[in-house]
Amino acid sequence: MILSRSMAHPRAVEERTLSWDEVQSWVRQVFFSGEALESSQTNAERLSPVAAAHRILTNSFGLIPFGPYRKDGEERVAVEDPDLNLVLKVRPNDYMSPFMMRKITMSNAFWHGFGAVWNRKGPDGQVVQRLPLPSDCCSIRKDLETGQYWYDYSVDGVQKTFSNYELSFLYFETYDGIRGRGVLDLARETIALDAMAQRYGKKFYQNGARMSGIVKVETDMDREARQKVKQEFRTYASDDAFAVAVLDHGMDFTPMGVSQSDAQFIETRNFSVEEISRFTGIPKHMLQTGKESYNSNSQQRLNYVTDTLLPYVVQWESEDSYKLPTPQDRRAGVYIRGNVEVLLRADPTTRASFYEKMIQHAIYNPDECRAKEEKNPIPGGLGKQFVMTKNLGSLESVLKGDAADG
């Protein structure tokens, strides 16, 4: 049972000469059969750039591991909390893995503006399950006396109301921190235009890449004769794409519609890919378009992680750091952190260069790098020592003006 979406704000009215609905109606009359093309999730999923953007963003967010940490002086150490580690790293609920839970949450945010996860807690206040909730089954209401927001869900006849503190939220885009705006809202016109172009291309090539036309006959014809000529010519145009038409009885055919050179209209779909790239922040080359160099693509992928994905990670960290640990653990400094480095580990050359620099500058020790590769520590504790290259001196030696110690 799906609730009507009652969480949308009233929108400002923009005056213009021709409304978007009127434009859609006109285009439908010119190119199609008059049926509506709504920018619904079902229609959007059939468009390759939108489907690719959804797959890339949801998979990327699903890949990032999250875990509890605590600040211990100047150190950040992992917290061995069995309850939190169970729902964050092993199994958030009986039906899905942590990867799938994060993927579903991002998917809801992508389509509907926000994804919500119910952090179900036991009597002791510990989280025992995390369940992603369907965003399109949610109605948001505000208590006018207290100002508190409540989230009403109705799924298959089961109704439940949650407070803000019971849910962790991930927003695709939001202007007030309460209601989200997803791709279906932000890119409504782009999705509708791309669907029109796709359907136009289908009809164009179904007709053998030929347009309709007018058959002129030098004699009067009754209704039955005209219908017979029309049917025969339609059969020729659709079923025998490369045959030669033979016209008799003084017939003359005049084509109508766009010429083959005007078929570049279909290429406007490339513009839709660029638009989806702008709306989602995913580089064009990741959507299988663009001709940048390998180095440029590598830099764009890094920018995708830092500029597009990292804000979602930080948002999720902030939500879970406040809502997952118990108040006592939170006061003790426990927080949730995501590791985006897993998205960069696919390139062994880049990864090796990164580890080399981290070890040379004593940021990581060898055992820490080995742990990231799921390797055992170096025997004898030798890998726990921080090292530096011989051409670098300690800060103390530099301040004293001594030669570089090695």
Residues 369-399 have pLDDT tens digits of 888 776 888 888 888 888 776 666 555 564 5
Q: Where are the beta strands (DSSP E) in 278-399?
A: 334-338
Q: What is the DSSP letter of 381?
A: G
Beta bridge mates, 121: 127
Find tokens 């640990």 and name the residue.
325
What is the residue whose two structure tokens read 């064009």? 284
d(C-alpha 353, C-alpha 359), whole Å: 10
Does 178 have pLDDT greater than 80? yes
Instruction: Provide the pairing of β-strand 75-78 with 114-121.
Output: unpaired
pLDDT tens figures, 332-373: 899 999 988 788 765 677 778 788 888 888 888 888 888 877
All structural domains of the chain with their residue ranges:
1-210+259-343, 212-256, 345-406
CA-closest candidate to residue 134, choices 115, 120, 118: 115
Contacts of 288 (CB under 8 A, 6+ apart): 52
N-to-C CA span, the chain: 71
Determine the Cα–Cα distance for residues 46 and 265; give it in Å rounded to an integer: 19
pLDDT for the residue numbered 29: 52
With H, G, I as helix, E, B as strand and everything else as coil, classify residue 123: coil
Residues 212-244 have pLDDT tens digits of: 566 666 667 677 877 777 776 666 555 444 455
Q: Determine the Cα–Cα distance for residues 323 and 50; give it in Å rounded to an integer.
A: 32
pLDDT tens digits along 111-170: 999 999 999 999 988 999 999 999 988 999 999 999 999 999 988 788 999 999 999 999
